[in-house]
């Protein structure tokens, strides 16, 4: 079975639970196998990096770690509130994602198929 995550790379999301509850950030990476996302500025962990060669430097770095996709919710830029995402077909045959609170179209998922017979 293919796992589907409700947000895409580049979406702005609102964190629902955890130590970063209430923060907003942009989705950097989606990991469908683990049902996880990496969000910019959220779930920052400290990593001790060892230099692998003479040219590399080691040290302590801070980076984002994955969080479960169930802990984030899409944040609509028009209504300025977190909400659910819906999918629908327009009259011209395009499949789009839209905000269920305000009805704003987020993006086009699938272009219209113009070569079909009428």
* Side-chain-side CA neighbours of residue 3 (13 Å): 13
Which residues are 63's β-sheet partners?
45
Percent of the chain with pLDDT over 70: 95
Query: Considering the entire predicted model, what is its pTM?
Result: 0.81
Percent of the chain with pLDDT over 90: 66
Residue 66: other Cβ atoms inside 10 A: 17
**pLDDT at 117 (0 to 100):** 47
User: What mean pLDDT is predicted for residues 81-90?
Assistant: 91
Q: Using only the alpha carbons of the chain, give its radius of gyration.
A: 19
Indicate the class that CATH gives domain 12-50+59-110. Answer: mainly beta
b/e per residue 17-43 (b: at least 16 CB within 10 A): eeebeebbbebeebeeeeebbbbeebb
């Amino acid at each position: 079975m293919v796992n589907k995550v409700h947000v895409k790379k580049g979406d702005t999301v609102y964190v629902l639970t955890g130590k970063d509850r209430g923060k907003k950030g942009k989705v950097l990476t989606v990991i469908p196998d683990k049902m996880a996302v990496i969000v910019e500025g959220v779930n920052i962990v400290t990593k001790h990096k060892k230099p692998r060669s003479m040219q590399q430097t080691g040290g302590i770095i801070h980076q984002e770690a994955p969080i479960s996709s169930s802990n984030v919710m899409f944040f609509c830029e028009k209504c300025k509130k977190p909400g659910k995402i819906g999918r629908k077909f327009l009259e011209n045959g395009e499949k789009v994602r839209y905000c269920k609170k305000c009805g704003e179209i987020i993006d086009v998922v699938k272009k219209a198929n113009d070569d079909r017979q009428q």
